[in-house]
Amino acid sequence: MTAETAPDLEPATAEEVLQFAVERFHPRLYVACSFQKEASVIMDLLVRIEPAVHFFTLDTGLLFQETYETWDRVEKHYGIEIDRQAGISLAEQANRYGERLWERDPDLCCEERKVIPLRDRLRGADAWVAGLRREQSRTRSSTKKIGWDKRHGLWKVNPLAEWSEADVWAYILANDVPYHPLHDQGYQSIGCTHCTRPSAGRHGRWAGTDKIECGLHDG
């Protein structure tokens, strides 16, 4: 499949997009799981289509305790295993760059703890699934439901691209989907402990800086 021969999935529902991705790419379809609400919806949809799909998460070592608890809860709920992908240890990062790198150079911290681990994980994939939505930020406003990821050299699937915040919550409540408890405490977007604050949209990520993306979704 090339960019020219890829089907137009923009009119398709999230279920149809995921069905296509499974039929076309499984078992080399990898699903990124952040344990945020969008990831919960995607997981619930996918296990109905193909429960053996490859789920993974980027464990930065700086996630909220509630994130690790959600990880355990969704694995038990769906009867699946979510693979852990991590980069260098926090001790090694401190040795290389000094303590509390996230305060001095958040871009480099994200590179070491998220971008490089994602690149390493996707080496064995033909496509990956992410939870991007167009309304999340201006940088995501043109997100396609399927497109070529130039950075990683594979297809990227965003089944919830056109969904609103209300759509996500309506699905979660209608289907009794387990979700991250920090969403009930005002966190709309959840990342690492030192770089996440309660806020609408993605404004609580790297608060006080002009940074709004970690680098995972560039290219």
Catalytic annotation, residues: 214
The DSSP code for 129 is: E
In the sheet where 127-129 sits, what is the strand order? 83-85, 54-58, 29-32, 127-129, 154-157, 146-149
Measured N-to-C along each axis, helices 165-174 and 37-49 cross at an angle, to the nearest 10 degrees, of 50
Q: Alpha helices, DSSP H only, in 50-154? A: 65-78, 90-97, 101-104, 106-110, 116-121
Number of H helices, E strands in the chain: 8, 6
For the chain, the 3-state helix, strand and coil shares in percent, each to the nearest 5, are 45, 15, 45
